[in-house]
Amino acid sequence: GKTGIERFYEPDLHGQVGYEEVETNARGRVLRVLKRTDPIPGKDIVLSLDINLQEAAEAALGGRRGAVVALDP
C-alpha cells in the first residue's frame, strides 16, 4: 500500500525473498545447490472496524477528504 496501515507495516507484511546459488552444466542443468536461503513469508494483519463508528465518521466528514481518530470508542 502507498499510504496508511499498509505503508506503515509494509516491512512486516512483505516478508523476504529466498534464493539459491547453483552450479550448472553447459546445458543449464543443475548439478548441485551451493547455497540456499529459504523465503520468509510476510506477517498478516487483521483490522476491525465498527460499522456504526465508520458511518458516523463519514457523516462527520460530509464527503470531504480527511481523517478521523477514535480513542477508546
pLDDT digits (tens, 9 = 90+) for 13-68: 889 999 999 999 999 999 999 999 999 999 998 888 889 998 999 999 999 999 88
Tell me if 71 is assigned to some domain: no
**Residue 46, pLDDT score:** 83
pLDDT at 71 over 90: no
Tell me if 66 is assigned to some domain: no
Tell me if 70 is assigned to some domain: no
Cβ partners under 8 Å of residue 4, min gap 6: none
User: Are the CB atoms for 13 and 4 separated by under 8 Å?
Assistant: no
Tell me if 30 is assigned to some domain: yes
User: Are the CB atoms for 21 and 33 separated by under 8 Å?
Assistant: yes
**∠ Cα 47 63 61 (to 5°):** 65
As for how many domains the chain has, the answer is 1
**Residue 73, pLDDT score:** 60
Q: How far apart are CA 5 and CA 43, in angstroms?
A: 13
Domain of 9, in residue numbers: 4-61
